[in-house]
Structure 1
Amino acid sequence: MMIINRLTLFVACTGAWLVLAGAVEPARCADKDEPSKLQLDGARYRLEKFEQKVKLARGAKIRMGFTENEALKMISALKDKYPDNPQVEDLFQRARKAVLASEGKIVEMSDDVLLYRKNQEKLAEIFKAEGEKEWAAFKEKALSGGAMLPKAFPAPSHHETDLSDLRGKYVVLEDFEYPSNEFMDLGRQFCWVGSGARGHYFVELSNRAWIGAYEAVKRYRRFVNPDVPEGMKWTLVGKITGLELLVPEAAKEKTLAAVWGWSVEPVAIYVPDRTFALADPELELGGRFAGEQRMEQLKGSMYSVKSIPDDVTPERLTEIFITAIKEKNYELYLACIDPARTKTPTGRSRCMYHWEWHQHRFATFYCRVDVGKADIRVIQGFDDSGDSLKARFLTPEEREKLKQHSEPLVEEAELKTTAFDERGKQYGSPKPRFFRRTEKKRWYIINYDQPF
């Protein structure tokens, strides 16, 4: 009897197990046709991180990290295994949009967007021709007068040559490198040219002649052609003034031996394929570059905007500011900036500093800027104009009374600009720009130093 009961129990358990196995097997088969919740959640979590990173970039190109690449790998694997699953398809389409956005915003560029760079090249060619002409005339005049050394190197030996034979003669130094070879000695500033084997010349930098010629080169770089790297080799022409025993080393603690060299007072600087600058003590600025006296005449024909209307909007003022930079119109650039920032020498120096940076960026990084809509707010006083939301709720008498007892009206505006390179790809993130006006007068830019 006990054996029969055990057999019955065994058969019953076996039957139950077979029933359960039959019920579970279809579920296992179903798992093969769709991804698990764990797989979907893992891919979705990483994709959300990817999308968040793209959103924070605000149109700029992002660098793909571990999480972003893992999201794409997981979704790609799910797409290969479950091509018809709607949840996988949704993840795939979201990932596709994220990948596209991760490369940065792209716009179609018009044919004239690079016109200002072509005009800059034309301008540089005009002044290059002026420089070549003046450089040739200068050399011819110096050579014809017998006042120029036939060659700079090897430098005349101070043991064999008397100073009186060289004093006042011109020397052409083709390997002048400033500021690479600059050094100080006994409180004076020099730039050495030469070597121990060829002999040395010490160009004096602590005098008005150098400042006059060098500042002229800087004006050329600021207003004509920003492509004047100071690390390149220039040609300097100077007059021999004396014989010096100096240590041509920039370090505070000198380790080199002192060497004899001829001291040279700068007369002119020739920057190959760019410009020729001449020191002239008779000029107010102490020097000039070739064609400088005709600079505004030559550039003026390229200006598309020459003044700012009194009723200019923040959006239009931004466009004029960009145009002034592109067309190298420095006076118009200054006219866009809040006058409080140009009153002092320090303020004007800062304006020039950031002008050079704007020139460099528009020549190198971006060429088109889209201007957003401005948001205007009152930061001081009471606005009684019809555009004011508060004024709509007040009678004319109430407006007038508040106006009489309020501080001067000061408004600020804010907008964002987005820059694009020559390929149409967004450069960086949108940048905020701030403006201010007083008593409904003209708008001015506050943060003029902000890159685009």
Structure 2
Amino acid sequence: MILKDLTKVLAALVLAVFICLGLAPLTAECAEKPAKNDITRTEFFLKKFEEKVEKYKGQPFKLGYEENEALKRIRDLKEKYPDDGEVEELFQRGRAALMRSKGDFMEITPEMLAYRENEQKLKKLFGDLADKEWKEFVKSVQEGPMAIEKPFPAPDQNTVSIEDIRGSYVILDDFEYPANQFIDLGREFVSVGSGTKGYYFVEISGRSWLGPYEAVKRYRRLINRDLPEEGKWTLLGRVTGVEMVIPQAEKVKTITARWGWVVTPVALYIPGHTFAFYEADSELGGNFAGEERMEEIKAPLYTVRVIPDDVTPEGLVEIFAASIKEKNFDLFKECISPGRQRNKKEESLINYHWDLHLDRFASLYVHVTTEEAKIEV
């Protein structure tokens, strides 16, 4: 009886051992698998992250709650289950999304930067031409009888009559626009000088100013975007009157009225950049040095000159970008639908976008990539 009971006990022990040995691997295997809910929740946040990456199309962005939550959950799963296949897949996707959130990376090649080197070549070429023409122009003026050799101190209105110097040329090196701009007598002026040196008031209300000034703006648009829109320039003009005005732009005046010689602009000169002059018979009102030969000079630097008849949407975008980089304004306009060039308002908008893209290619980016176009009718 005792032997029989002992046999039962041994059998039970052996069975228990087999059960334990059989369950042990199963228990270990279960411990290595993450909970399905953890995978699902992590997948949810990761998809949100990936959708945001696609939305930004290669642009960098700051991580928000959903992106950080996805990365946190992936990290926790990876630490607990480093060898799990599903976790590894989430890890790789998370790493790829994180890299893309920093923005697309590409190698900047010399070919991409060629347009900037060409701009410097144009700047030097037109700058040298401007310096040469300015010197010749100033020489011809100074050799004539109607020139004020020394602008400061300015002639004293109490001893010098306007009739003595009317029409005389004067060169003002400290012409600063728009910093010294003011309005008086219903006209616009820029003051040059001071109370101790005397004043010249350059009138900028008419074509004689707008002609050269618009020419400088065209130079900036078509040749060299590095030229500041404002600053100290050299102005050559002719004395045409004498006025007593308050050379101050503020509504509340803090200085008294001052006498000064009124000067009508003839030319603007920015050393090393451009020389722009007034032309009364021109519809533009003026030109900058070399403008009449501009396309002849720039043409060898163009990589694209015409739009092919069979151009694809992607190809048109690439030509559009090239026209901006190479400052080919005519080609730029050809890339735009004629239906958006019907009036002055639309032309003004084209000029706005031209200036905007020039600034961006000068300071923000150097290359454009295109994706396959989606055409909707």
TM-score relative to the length of structure 2: 0.80
Q: 1:259 to 1:47 in 2, by over 3 A?
A: farther
Whether the aligned pair in 2 keeps the contact of 1:34 and 1:82 (CA below 8 Å) is: no
Corresponding residue for 1:119? Answer: 118
Equivalent positions of 1:372-387 (< 5 A) are 372-377=371-376, 379=377
User: Match of 1:275, as an amino acid?
Assistant: T
Count of aligned pairs between the two proteins: 349
Contact preservation (8 Å) 2:33, 2:81: no
What is the RMSD computed on CA atoms of the aligned residues? 3.2
Contact 1:62 1:102 in 2 (8 A): yes
The alpha carbon displacement at 1:188 in A equals: 0.8
Aligned to 1:27: none
Contact between 1:216 and 1:287, CA under 8 Å: does it hold in 2? yes
Instruction: Output the CA distance in 1 between the equivalents of 2:194 and 2:344.
Output: 41
Shift of 1:356: 2.1
**For residues 201-229 of structure 1, what are the alpha-carbon distances to aligned partners after superposition, in whole Å with 9 as ceiling and x for unaligned?**
21101122111111211221122112222
Q: What is the CA–CA distance in structure 1 between the aligned matches of 2:217 and 2:117, rounded to whole Å?
A: 22
Equivalences for residues 296-335 of structure 1 within 5 A: 296-335=295-334
Return the letter of the residue paired with 2:290. Answer: G
Cα contact 2:200–2:261 (8 A) shared by 1: yes
Q: Over residues 315-374 of structure 1, what are the superposed CA-to-partner deviations in whole Å (9 max), with x where a residue is unaligned? A: 222222222222222222222221122232333232223222222222222221122223
Residue 99 (str. 1) matches residue 98 (str. 2): yes
Name the counterpart of 1:6: none
Q: CA deviation at 1:290?
A: 0.6
Give the AA of the match of 2:142. Answer: L
**Mapping of 1:77-88 within 5 angstroms?**
82=80, 84=82, 86=84
AA partner of residue 155 (structure 1): A
Percentage of identical aligned residues:
48
Aligned-partner residue type, residue 368 of structure 2:
V
Q: Over residues 233-256 of structure 1, what are the superposed CA-to-partner deviations in whole Å (9 max), with x where a residue is unaligned? A: 111111111211112222345454
Matching residue of 2:214: 215
TM-superposed CA distance for 1:41, in Å, is 9.0
Aligned twin of 1:60 = 59
1:197 aligns with 2:189: no
SS at match of 1:177: strand
Whole-Å separation in 2 of the counterparts to 1:352 and 1:117: 21
Residue 337 of structure 2 is matched in structure 1 by 338
- Alpha-carbon distance in structure 1 between the residues aligned to 2:73 and 2:310: 57
| Unmatched tracts of structure 1, length 5 or more | 1-31, 380-452
- Maintained 8 Å contact 2:34/2:81: no
Q: Deviations over 1:159-210 (max 9, x none)?
A: 3433233322222222222222222112211112223333322110112211
In structure 2, the residue matched to 1:242 is 241
CA distance in 2, matches of 1:218, 1:124: 14
2:133 aligned partner = 134
Pairing 1:168-207 to 2, within 5 Å after superposition: 168-207=167-206
| Larger strand proportion of the pair | 1
**Partners of 1:277 and 1:148 in 2: how far apart?**
20
Residue in 2 aligned with 1:401? none
What amino acid is aligned across from residue 147 of structure 1 in structure 2? Answer: M
Tell whether the 8 Å contact from 1:82 to 1:88 is kept in structure 2 after alignment: no
SS in 1 for 2:239: strand
User: Given that residues 200 and 260 in structure 2 are in contact (C-alpha distance below 8 angstroms), is that contact kept between their aligned partners in structure 1?
Assistant: yes
Deviation at 1:94?
4.2
- Rounded Cα–Cα distance in structure 2 between residues aligned with 1:299 and 1:98: 44
Flag the 1:373–1:34 CA change in 2: closer, same or farther, 3 A: closer
State the partner residue of 1:403: none
Q: Which amino acid aligns with 2:304?
A: V
Query: Shift of the alpha carbon at 1:121?
Result: 1.4
Q: What does the per-residue CA deviation read over 1:238-286, in whole Å, with 9 as the maximum and x for residues that have no partner?
A: 1111211112222345454222221111011001221001112133422
The CA distance in 2 between the partners of 1:148 and 1:317, in whole Å, is 54
Q: Per the alignment, do residues 160 and 88 of structure 1 end up closer, same or farther by CA in structure 2, a change over 3 Å counting?
A: farther
Opposite residue 373 of structure 1, the aligned amino acid is: E
Q: Does 234-243 or 281-290 show the bigger shift? A: 281-290
Q: For the Cα contact (< 8 Å) 2:32–2:81, is it kept in 1?
A: no
Contact 1:247–1:258 (Cα < 8 Å) also in 2: yes
**Match runs of 1:237-316 below 5 Å:** 237-316=236-315
Sort the Cα spacing of 1:340 and 1:93 in 2 relative to 1 into closer, same or farther, 3 A.
Answer: closer
Instruction: Give the match for residue 348 of structure 1.
Output: 347
Look up the equivalent residue of 1:342 and give its one-letter code. Answer: Q
The amino acid of 2:327's aligned partner reads: K
Listed as ranges, the matches of 1:394-409 within 5 Å are: none
Does structure 1 residue 159 correspond to structure 2 residue 181? no
Q: 1:290 to 1:78 in 2, by over 3 A?
A: same
The one-letter amino acid of 1:152's match is P
- Evaluate the alpha carbon distance shift between residue 374 and residue 90 of structure 1 in structure 2; reply closer, same or farther with a 3 A threshold: closer
| 1:404-452 deviation digits (Å, cap 9, x = unpaired) | xxxxxxxxxxxxxxxxxxxxxxxxxxxxxxxxxxxxxxxxxxxxxxxxx
C-alpha distance in structure 2 between counterparts of 1:360 and 1:91, whole Å: 41
Name the SS for the 1:370 alignment partner.
coil
Counterpart of 2:310 in 1: which secondary structure?
coil
CA-CA distance at 1:231 after TM superposition = 2.2
Cα separation, 2, equivalents of 1:40 and 1:301: 60
Instruction: Mark the CA change 1:280 to 1:101 in structure 2 (over 3 Å): closer, same or farther.
Output: same
Gaps of 5+ in 2: 1-30
Q: Is the CA contact (8 Å cut-off) linking 1:178 and 1:230 kept in structure 2?
A: no
The whole-number CA distance in structure 2 between the counterparts of 1:72 and 1:160 is: 83
CA distance in 2, matches of 1:116, 1:206: 37
Judging by fraction of residues, say which structure has more helix: 2
Distance 1:36 1:154, change over 3 A: farther
Pair 1:360–1:247, CA change in 2 (3 A):
same
**Gap change, CA 1:308 and 1:96, over 3 Å in 2:** closer
Q: CA 1:198 to 1:39, structure 2 compared with 1: closer, same or farther past 3 Å? A: farther
